[in-house]
Chain A
Amino acid sequence: MKRLSYFEYRVPKTVEEAIELFESGGADARLMAGGTDLLMKMKHGAMTPKILISLKKIDGLDTIAFSEKTGLTIGATALLADVASHPDIVEHYPAVAEAARGTANVQVRNMGTVVGNLCNASPAADNAPTLLAMGATVHIQGAGGKRDLPLEEFFKGPGLTALRGAEMVTSLSVPLPPAGAGAAYLSLSARGKLDCTAVGAAAMVTMKGDVCDDVRLFIASCGPTPLRAPGAEQIMRGKPISDDILEKAGEIATGEASPITDLRASADYRTRIIAVLAGRAIKAASKRALAR
Chain B
Amino acid sequence: MKKFSIVGKHVPRNDARAKATGTAVYTDDIKLPGMLHGRILRSPLAHARIVSIDTSKAAALPGVKCVITGQDIPKVKYGNWRLFPDTQDEYALAVDKVRFIGDEVAAVAAVDLDIAEEALSLIDVEYVELPGVFDVDASIKEGAPVLHDYCPTNISVNRKIHYGDVEKAFAESDYVREDIFTVHAVSHAYLEPCSSIAQCDLDGRITLWTSTQVPYIIQCLLASTLEMRENDVRIIKPFVGGGFGGKMELRTWEFCSAFMAKKTGKPVKFTLSREEEFLAGRRRHPMKLYSKVGFKKDGTITGKDFRVHLDGGAYNAMGPTATFLCGNFGAMLYRYPSYSFQGEHIYTNKPPASAMRGFGAPQAIFATETQMSIAAEELGMDPIELRIKNAQVSGDKIPGVATISTCGFIEALEKVAQMSDWKEKRANPKEGRGIGIGCYSFISGGAFNWFNTQYPYSAAEVRVFDDGTAHLLTMAADIGQGCDTAVKQILAESLGLKMEDIRITSADTAMTPQADLGAWGSRLTLFNGNAVLNAAEKIKAKLFGAVSARFNLNVIHEFECKDGKVYPKGRPDRGLTFGEAVGLVQKANRGEPLIAHGYYTPRDKGLVTPAFSFGAQVAEVEVDKKTGIVDVKKFWTAHDCGTVINPRAAEGQLEGSIQMGLGYALSEQFIMDGGKTLNTNFLDYKMPNAMDMPPSEVVHIETYEPEGPMGAKEAGEGLAIPTAPAIAEAVFSATGYRCRDLPITPEKILNAIEPRERPKSAVK
Contact = CB atoms under 8 A, between A and B. Distances in A.
A191 B667 contact: yes
Given A191-B667, A192-B691, A268 B747 contact: yes
B683 A273 contact: no
16 contacts: A1-B271, A105-B691, A191-B667, A192-B667, A192-B692, A194-B691, A254-B761, A258-B761, A259-B764, A261-B762, A266-B747, A267-B761, A268-B759, A269-B747, A271-B761, A276-B626
Interface in B730-764: 745-747, 750, 758-759, 761-764
A240 to B, nearest CB: 22
> Considering residues B275, B679, B683, which has the most beta carbons from chain A within 10 angstroms of its beta carbon?
B683
Main secondary structure of the interface of A (DSSP, over half): loop
B678 A263 contact: yes
Interface string B367-397: 0000000000000000000000000000000
Interface string A184-195: 000010111111
B761 to A, nearest CB: 5
A260 interface: yes
Contacts of A194: 689, 691-692
Contacts of A3: 113-114
B38 to A, nearest CB: 14
A196 interface: yes
B159 interface: no
Interface residues of A, number: 32
Contact of A260 (B629, B750, B764): B764
A269 B750 contact: yes
A254 B761 CA distance: 8
Interface centre among B631, B691, B762 (most CB of A within 10 A): B762
Contacts of B689: 191, 193-194
B629 A188 contact: yes
Q: Most chain-B CB neighbours within 10 Å: which of A1, A191, A273?
A: A191
B568 to A, nearest CB: 59
Given A1-B273, A191-B692, A195-B686, A272 B761 contact: no
Interface in A187-228: 188, 190-196
B589 interface: no
B684 interface: yes
Contacts of B758: 268
B23 interface: no
A260 B758 CA distance: 14
Interface in A265-283: 265-269, 271-273, 276-277
A255 interface: yes
A273 B689 CA distance: 24
A155 to B, nearest CB: 20
B672 to A, nearest CB: 11
Secondary structure class of chain B's binding surface, majority of residues = loop
A280 to B, nearest CB: 8
Contacts of A269: 628, 746-747, 750
Give the 3 A-B CB pairs with smallest separation, nearest first.
Answer: A193-B691, A191-B686, A268-B762
A102 B423 CA distance: 37
Interface string A143-156: 00000000000000
Nearest to B193: A1
A264 interface: yes
B688 interface: yes
Interface in A138-193: 188, 190-193
Contacts, number: 74
Nearest to B630: A192
B761 A259 contact: yes
A136 B229 CA distance: 72
A264 B684 contact: yes
A5 B113 CA distance: 11
B671 interface: yes
A190 B745 contact: yes
B454 interface: no
| Residue of A105, A196, A265, A267 most packed against chain B (CB within 10 A) | A267
A271 B761 CA distance: 7
Interface string B97-123: 000000000000000011000000000
A69 interface: no
A190 B113 contact: no
B627 interface: yes
A269 B688 CA distance: 21
A61 to B, nearest CB: 28
A193 B688 CA distance: 9
Contacts of A255: 761
Nearest to A255: B761
A37 B332 CA distance: 49
Given A188-B629, A190-B745, A269-B750, A263 B762 contact: no
A42 to B, nearest CB: 14
Nearest to A259: B761
B744 to A, nearest CB: 11
A55 to B, nearest CB: 25
Contacts of A260: 764
A195 to B, nearest CB: 7
Contacts of A272: 750, 759
Given A190-B667, A191-B692, A276 B627 contact: yes
Contacts of B691: 105, 192-194
B756 to A, nearest CB: 8
A81 B671 CA distance: 33
B622 to A, nearest CB: 13
A192 B659 CA distance: 13
Contacts of B745: 190
A2 B273 contact: yes
Contact of A192 (B113, B684, B688): B688
Interface string B685-724: 0111101100000000000000000000000000000000
A151 B110 CA distance: 49
B154 to A, nearest CB: 29
Given A188-B629, A193-B689, A268-B762, A263 B667 contact: no
Contacts of B629: 188
Contacts of A261: 762
Contacts of B28: 1
A2 B39 CA distance: 12
B609 to A, nearest CB: 35
Given A1-B271, A2-B273, A196 B683 contact: yes
Nearest to B750: A272
Nearest to B272: A1
Contacts of B762: 259, 261, 266-268, 271
A188 B750 CA distance: 15
A150 to B, nearest CB: 27
B688 A191 contact: yes
A57 B115 CA distance: 34
Nearest to B625: A276
A266 B759 CA distance: 12
